[in-house]
Structure formats: C-alpha cells, structure tokens
C-alpha cells in the first residue's frame, strides 16, 4: 500500500512539473506545443495566478466575473416579457468569432496578442495532443495536454456556472467535468429544435476522471462540437496566435451553415444569392456582414 501511495505521489509531481513548463513564476506564459498552426497556448486560465488555479468565470462575450449567471444577468440578452418565455428573447449579435474584440475576456484582461481560442484552435488541440488525467487523489481534477514537441499544458476541470457563483466555488474542488469557452458562436441553426443558434457558443468540454475510473457512457477525450448557452459562466484558456488566426477564421466561415441572417441571428433567407430582395439593413451572409441599401 505504501509503495502504491509513493508511486502515485511521484506520478502526480512529475505530471504537474511537466504541465507547468513555464520559464519562471511570472505567469502567464505562452507555451509552444508544436502544433502545425504555430498557435501557442497560455499556461493558465484568465484570472488565475498559476496553472493549477481555476481562475475567473465569464459569460460568453462578457469580460468580468459576476455573482450570478442567469438569463436576467446576461448583458447581451433582453426580454420585455420576462425571462420565462425563451421565444421572446432578443439578442445582440457580437459576431461569429469574438476573438480579439472588445467582447473577448482574454484580450481585454491580458491585452497584447492574447485572445480566446476559436473552434478551429480547439479541434487542432484535440487532434494533435495526447491527453492524460491527473491522478484521482490529486487536490484538483484536470487534463494534461501534451503536444507533438513534448511540451504540455494543464487545464483544471472547473464546473460551468448556471446560477450563483459561490455554489460553484464551494463544490468545484471535486469536479471532473471541465468546460471552457471558445470565441466561436454556434452558427448551426438546427442545433436545438426549440431554440435558434443565437442562444449558443462553442465550448471545450471534457471529462477529467482518470481513465480507469470511467464508467460506460462517459467519454475520456473532449468533444469539440459541444455548445452551451451563452449566459453560463465558464473558464477561459487564452492563446497567443500570431500566425494562423486569419486562416482558421476562414475555415470556420467556410464550414458555417449557409443563408442570410439578421444581426440578431435570425435566418431570413436560405438563398445567399438574393440579399438585394431584402429590406434595407445589415445582414450576415454566409458568416460575413453585408449591407443592403
């Protein structure tokens, strides 16, 4: 028993040291994982002072932590009919990708070239990195993601917040389910049949339970096409992307559902060749802004 405990401790120490591959304790640092795009990932979350800290929670498009995460407290959702009728909600369209904008919590809080990762960055991370959970007896749960060059990042598993933040702070030490925002709004109009795509943004969701403890039905590796309601509070892991964000954004646009949408996110026409037949205004055509005069 003592031998197994000792081995477990050594394993934890080696994983943590490997994950915290920072030059010193002056976080954050950009870590090159050897990804094809050249994208560098931050060593810790926005609001954290070290890799093993959870950091702050943000609703999608908001740049500060708050006490409650509800439809009523979300800055970009409005309703004159109360918040019991989801069909009556009105939305501010912030853009298909808010990375590097005034709505990007990573960019606003850290400045410089820091930004939220978009869906393409997440998919690249999943495709090229090896994934390993922290041991079950560690103080926190999380994933170690190791890139092709052997460098790693640690992503703590924090709950997503729907309600009061203090409830999450109270219980998140035992969390094995991690949720992180991307900068990409869901543009799949049929994501849910009872709600339009304007309700959702893409997330990185993962189960950080050690593989030997996973019961049937739980996936070990993240699913990069998961969406969540935008009012929910989640952690954000920034990237320092100086080489390929434009190319990745083009890939996101190319894979977006086709059609003409209002800036509030309502699809008004499936045929993108007919914008001139619409009333004057600003529209989103195949993921790009267009003006009908």
| DSSP secondary structure letter of residue 13 | H
Residues 178 and 270 in one domain: no
Amino acid 220: pLDDT = 40
Which residues on neighbouring strands pair with residue 40, listed in sequence order? 32, 240
In a domain, residue 4? The reply is no
Tell me the residue range of the domain where 231 lies.
Answer: 21-255
Amino acid 263: pLDDT = 54
Least confident stretch, 154-158, 250-254, 274-278: 250-254
Amino acid 22: pLDDT = 54
For the cut 70, the answer to whether the pLDDT of residue 90 exceeds it is yes
pLDDT band for position 69 (50/70/90)? very high
Q: What is the mean pLDDT of residues 205-233?
A: 64
In a domain, residue 110? The reply is yes
Q: What is the mean pLDDT of residues 163-181?
A: 75
In a domain, residue 11? The reply is no
For the cut 60, the answer to whether the pLDDT of residue 161 exceeds it is yes
Distance between CA atoms of residues 260 and 248, nearest Å: 22
Residue in this structure with the two tokens 């989103």, named with its chain if needed: 284
For the cut 50, the answer to whether the pLDDT of residue 38 exceeds it is yes
For the cut 50, the answer to whether the pLDDT of residue 3 exceeds it is no
In a domain, residue 62? The reply is yes
Looking at per-residue pLDDT, the higher value among 291 and 203 belongs to 203
In a domain, residue 213? The reply is yes
In a domain, residue 235? The reply is yes
Q: What is the mean pLDDT of residues 256-270?
A: 61
Q: What is the pLDDT of residues 91-113, one digit of tens each?
A: 788 888 999 999 999 999 999 89
In a domain, residue 13? The reply is no
Residues 35 and 96 in one domain: yes
* Domains of the chain: total: 2
Q: What is the mean pLDDT of residues 226-234?
A: 88
């Amino acid at each position: 028993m003592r031998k197994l405990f000792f081995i477990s401790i050594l394993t934890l120490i080696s994983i943590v040291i490997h994950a915290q591959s920072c030059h010193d304790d002056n976080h954050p640092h950009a870590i090159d994982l050897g990804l094809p795009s050249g994208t560098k990932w931050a060593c810790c979350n926005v609001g954290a002072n070290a890799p093993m800290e959870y950091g702050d929670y943000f609703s999608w498009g908001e740049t500060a932590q708050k006490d409650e995460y509800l439809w009523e407290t979300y800055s970009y959702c409005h309703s004159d009919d109360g918040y019991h009728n989801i069909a009556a909600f009105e939305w501010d369209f912030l853009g298909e990708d808010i990375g590097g904008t005034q709505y990007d919590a990573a960019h606003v809080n850290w400045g410089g070239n820091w930004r939220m990762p978009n869906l393409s960055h997440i998919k690249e991370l999943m495709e090229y990195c090896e994934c390993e959970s922290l041991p079950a007896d560690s103080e926190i749960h999380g994933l170690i993601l190791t890139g092709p060059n052997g460098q790693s990042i640690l992503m703590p598993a924090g709950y997503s917040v729907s309600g009061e933040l203090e409830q999450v702070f109270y219980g998140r030490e035992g969390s094995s389910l991690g949720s992180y925002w991307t900068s990409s709004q869901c543009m799949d109009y049929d994501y849910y049949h009872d709600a339009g795509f304007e309700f959702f943004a893409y997330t990185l969701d993962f189960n950080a339970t050690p593989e030997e403890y996973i019961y049937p039905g739980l996936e070990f590796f993240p699913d990069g096409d998961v969406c969540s309601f935008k009012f929910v509070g989640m952690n954000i892991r920034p990237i320092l992307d100086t080489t390929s964000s434009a190319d990745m954004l083009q890939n996101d646009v190319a894979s977006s559902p086709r059609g003409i949408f209002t800036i509030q996110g309502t699809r008004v026409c499936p045929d993108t060749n007919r914008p001139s037949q619409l009333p004057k205004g600003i529209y989103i055509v195949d993921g790009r802004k267009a003006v009908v005069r």
